[in-house]
Structure 1
Amino acid sequence: MSAAPTELAAAALFDGARLRSDVALRHEGGRIVSIEPLPGPVAAPRRLVIPALVDAHDHARPLSTVSFGGAFTPLETWLPRTIFATPPDAYLAAAAALARVARAGCGAAMVHYTRPSGVLPILDEVREVARAARDVGVRIAFALAVRDMNPLVYGDETEVLDGLPEATRALFREAFVRPAMSPDAYLALVDEIAEAIAGPLVDVQYGPAGLQWCSPGLLEAIAEASERTGRRVHMHLLETERQRAWADRAHPEGVVTFLERIGLLSDRLTLAHCVHARPDELDRIAASGARIVANFGSNMHLRSGLSPVAEARRRGVCVAVGIDGAALDDDDDMLREMRLAHGVHAGAGLDPNWTRAEFLALVVRTGRAAVGAPGDGALGPSEPADYCALDLDALDRDAIMPVDPLDLMFARANASHVREVVVAGRSVVRDGRVVGVDLPALEAELRARFRSQVGRYAGLDRAWPSFDAALRRWFEGCVGCG
């Protein structure tokens, strides 16, 4: 005998198009069966139910890079510093990262895997990431990042390393300058990854790191493979002013024109950041059906600027929101990140650029497309049972007069208001706690392991000031980059 449908009484429910009051949501077998009016008002505890959020650009980092000396540094000098946060264990790192975003209301997340632990063969490591996602219970898109040029700067790294003492030069060359994987080898590896982990809750994608790190040959190979297989592509684009300058120099015909010419610009492509994209480039992105992920906190922490979210939306680009491992309060709080993106980009005129309902529906719909999740996030019969229930009593803390629940959410909500997250019918967060893993224990174990291994990079740490200064000199003096 099959189990009875699960039922949740919602004082307010946003179904992706409208806000409904006092309804019962029923789901069974991972799908919503019905959403029907209740005979009277829902008593306390009152819940606001919304579609599960999507962290549409992230890297499943184990702990914040601020704890490894990476606070408020420009992207180009911050990236090498992330070596200190190399995961000591792939499962622990992914489980902690995914549990944090689940706790903040996310039912799906992008894992653009840029820094493997190196402890296991890569396929075994990927299986551990997928196991972590299963245990937490969230949907993921997994893209193994690839790069085959410019390991340190947007040009010849010897110009940086040759200015260092010989012993220091050898230390940093060993850490950062390694043989690149061929395009054919990468494509074959992605096929193996898909064979190993792809499934209803895991979408395997191609993950070129970005134009300044990937040769035209590599990008062309990925574009051809994506068209042939239908596999999605996730990459960074125009995150910083220095990347903008490099792109203009390397691709005088236009960087988005280049992506279009090689066949990479399509509705299979998700572009993270696009902080320095120009209006004509946004038009091309919109026409292609590709989407952009804005990352407010990360762009602030790394001093990259503000994504042109409102302009992109005006030009027809579908926009999602990501955490990128660097939320405003350094806590992976997706609710707060979404609110910030909305507040900063809604405009300063008398009429906003969008309603709160429109923005919520947009970022959920686009986020699901970015990670390959089924449906557009709408809550209705036969749709995936992916939703988040917030504590409406806490949001409406003063309870003086009727206030639109979405207004309360966009004004006040953060991870502490999340009471439940359901993914494919499975309750993955209940009473504000992640069900499938012990997040505090995971983070405690990660901290203990990092502390015990802090001497692993002692040589790099001692030599870091001279290396950092050399990086900064290069980017300040590079024609077309500084």
Structure 2
Amino acid sequence: MAGAVAAAALFDGERLRCDVALAHEGGVVAAIERVAEPHSGPRRLVTPALVNAHDHARPLSTTSFGSAFLPLETWLPRNVFVTPPDPYLAAVAPLARAARAGCGAVMVHYTRPSGTLSPVDEARAIARAANDVGVRIAFAPAVRDMNPLVYGDETEMLARLSPAAEALFRDAFVREPATPQAYLDLVDEIAEAIAGPLVDVQYGPAGPQWCSRPLLEAIADASARTERRVHMHLLETERQRAWADRAFPDGVVRHLEEIGLLSARLTLAHCVHARPDELDRIAASGARIVTNFSSNMYLRSGLGPIREAHARGCRVAVGVDGQALDEDDDLLREMRLVHGVHAGAKLDPAWTRAGFLSAVIAAGRAAVGAPGDGALAPGAAADFIAFDLDALDRDRIAPVDPLDLLFTRGAAAHVREVVVAGRTIVADGRVAGVDLDAVEAELRTLFRANAGRHRALEAAWGPFDAGLRDWFRGCLGCG
């Protein structure tokens, strides 16, 4: 595949260049050259493609299932209602929304399988969805082997329910976990089935509060042996911080370091409640932090020390986590929020706009296993976005840096073209490989048809939710 795009402005990852043409062939950038005459057609701003570095490929907004503004610990069980009715369609929708917003790569930390297929066949369905959309993905099948409902023994909490409700919730959430070796074997089998130039298979431990020490140690050993990347949550909420301080008195990040899990192969989502010494350990290891601003806001987790993490040398990426500000998977708006909030209140910001954009793309690509740091130069992967510069620069009153326009008003609506590995996956603002509107309509129909399956859970949800809250207040003292 070969092609070219004329850019009134092109940010190559280091500097802004005006009136150039980018040519690509065979999936890589062939040349970026100055043009003698400015392009007479619509003006375009070209930048490296974005990376949604932490996501779970949720099919539709979780708010539509009654989970708005719940704290994480009561929100997570509620996601049982969002179990995918069709794994292919459920993956196509969020991946297509990501592409439409300028993402060339997406992390799929797969936490809620449909149960309609074997794990390997479900992974094949997600890989097929990614191929049809055209995005790169990292696929990390999530694993947890303890604490299915609370950060401790759920017996007393469930015993407060009626016998029928207790049986119902046990059946929904409490299952015999797989052994560490069984999980490692499964990841190997999935990698054999789907790994390739556009698919990076990773280990996906859910987080220290959900994974036993033997499981984390086994993953750390396997990652060191195979060099396979690892993607996990860490210190997302106050409750997780309190649990970690009790479970690991010497420090949870120190424990990850001691077992060999904290390395440049590791990506840590959230880190909202990480402490300065923990940020120093993360920075020294080469691991990455993915911040998820809107998700942290909606789930009332906190803002996170992102400015301090950057100052201490941590590599920071940005993810949507299925909870973008307008629940539209618009990563560009998410990046603007992260930059605006964490740039600080000093006269000089923590990042320049150019530096921030380059840094989060580079860290995101490392998190998902995409080649290079995203910079556009001959020989680099042809992964880029063409924005509608005429719409961004709508007033045309004074010369304005295009990156200033992007960081003040840019959104998915300004994306006109997205190219990944030389393939145009968004053209004229629409996803080329799939009909997103039709996919979302079909998903809504399927979910509505399946809603009756959860009537008993819904009817018993109030006492269950109250029991969860009481447990966390009483056992961790951080309601």
Report the TM-score when normalising by structure 2.
0.99
Q: Which residue is equivalent to 2:93? A: 96
**1:246, 1:480 within 8 Å by CA — same for their partners in 2?**
no
Letter of the 2:430 counterpart: R
C-alpha contact (below 8 Å) 1:246/1:481 kept by paired residues = no
Which residue of structure 1 aligns with residue 301 of structure 2? Answer: 304
Is 1:451 the equivalent of 2:471?
no
Query: 1:321/1:479 Cα in 2 relative to 1: closer, same or farther (>3 Å)?
Result: closer
- Is 2:262 the partner of 1:270? no
Question: Displacement, 1:481?
Answer: 5.4
Unpaired runs of 5+ in structure 2?
none
Deviation of 1:42 after TM superposition, in Å, equals 2.6
**Is the CA contact 1:44–1:393 (under 8 Å) kept in the aligned structure 2?**
no
Q: Distance in 1 between matches of 2:305 and 2:198?
A: 31
* Partner of residue 109, structure 1: 106
* Kept after mapping to 2: 8 A contact 1:243/1:481: no
Determine if contact 2:96/2:434 at 8 Å carries over to the other structure.
yes
Letter in 2 for 1:451: R
Of 403, 406, 419, the match for 1:406 = 403
**Paired residues for 1:20-31 under 5 Å:** 20-31=17-28
Aligned residue for 1:212, secondary structure, equals coil
SS at match of 2:301: coil
Would you say how many aligned residue pairs link Structure 1 and Structure 2? 479
Question: Which of 280, 283, 300 is the equivalent residue of 2:280?
Answer: 283
Deviation of 1:438 after TM superposition, in Å, equals 0.5
The aligned residue for residue 381 of structure 2 is 384
Superposed CA offset, 1:184-241 (max 9, x none): 0000000000000000000000000000000000000000000000000000000000
> How do residues 324-473 of structure 1 correspond to structure 2 at under 5 angstroms?
324-473=321-470
Matches within 5 A, 1:41-60: 41-60=38-57
The aligned counterpart of 1:240 is 237
| Selected match of 1:474 from 468, 471, 475 | 471
Separation in 1 of the partners of 2:198 and 2:351?
Answer: 31
Counterpart position of 2:206: 209
SS state at 1:239 partner = coil
Is the CA contact (8 Å cut-off) linking 1:55 and 1:106 kept in structure 2? Answer: yes
Q: Which amino acid aligns with 1:204?
A: V
For residues 44 and 199 of structure 1, the distance between their equivalents in structure 2, rounded to whole angstroms, comes to 38
1:144-293 aligned at under 5 Å gives the runs 144-293=141-290
Distance 2:335 2:417 in 1: 18
Quick check: 1:40 aligned with 2:37? yes
Percent identity between matched residues is: 74
For residues 398 and 69 of structure 2, what CA distance do their matches in structure 1 show? 42
Q: What is the alpha-carbon distance in structure 1 between the residues aligned to residue 8 and residue 476 of structure 2? A: 59
CA–CA separation in structure 2 for the residues paired with 1:480 and 1:19:
51
- Contact kept, 8 Å, 1:91 with 1:129, in 2: the verdict is yes
Is 1:134 aligned with 2:140? no
2:209 aligned counterpart, secondary structure: helix
1:44-95, Cα deviation, whole Å (9 max, x unpaired): 3000000000000000001010000010000000000000000000000000
Which runs of 5 or more structure 1 residues have no equivalent in the other structure? none
Letter in 2 for 1:73: L
Q: What is the rounded CA distance, in whole Å, between the counterparts of 2:391 and 2:446 in structure 1?
A: 37
Distance 2:282 2:40 in 1: 47
- Distance across 1 between alignment mates of 2:210 and 2:118: 23
Aligned counterpart for 1:15 among listed residues 12, 16, 22: 12
Q: Distance in 1 between matches of 2:296 and 2:366?
A: 22
Give, as a single letter, the amino acid of the residue that structure 1 aligns with 2:78: R
Counterpart contact for 1:210–1:235, Cα < 8 Å: yes
Tell me, in whole angstroms, the C-alpha distance in 2 between the residues paired with 1:476 and 1:376. 44
TM superposition shift of 1:41? 2.1
Query: Which whole-Å CA distance do the structure 2 matches of 1:479 and 1:133 have between them?
Result: 40
Aligned equivalents of 1:481, 1:128: Cα separation in 2: 40
In structure 2, how many angstroms separate the alpha carbons of the residues matched to 1:382 and 1:117?
40
- Of residues 97, 115, 118, the one that matches 2:115 is 118
How far apart, in 1, do the equivalents of 2:117 and 2:42 lie? 46
Match of 2:61 in 1: 64
Contact 1:234 1:270 in 2 (8 A): yes
Cα contact 1:249–1:480 (8 A) shared by 2: no
Distance 2:40 2:275 in 1: 50
Separation of aligned partners in 2, 1:154 and 1:131: 36
- The Cα shift of 1:350 comes to 1.0
Rounded Cα–Cα distance in structure 1 between residues aligned with 2:379 and 2:121? 36
CA-to-partner distance for each residue in 1:253-309, whole Å, 9 max, x for gaps? 101000000000000000000000000000000000000000001000100001211
* Structure 1 residue 479 displacement after superposition: 3.7
Distance 1:192 1:481 in 2: 41
What RMSD over aligned residues (CA atoms) do the two structures have, in Å?
A: 0.7
2: distance between equivalents of 1:252 and 1:211?
A: 14
Supply the distance in 1 between the matched residues of 2:306 and 2:473 (Cα, whole angstroms): 28
**Kept after mapping to 2: 8 A contact 1:9/1:23:** yes
SS in 2 for 1:27: strand
| DSSP-derived class of the 2:201 partner | strand
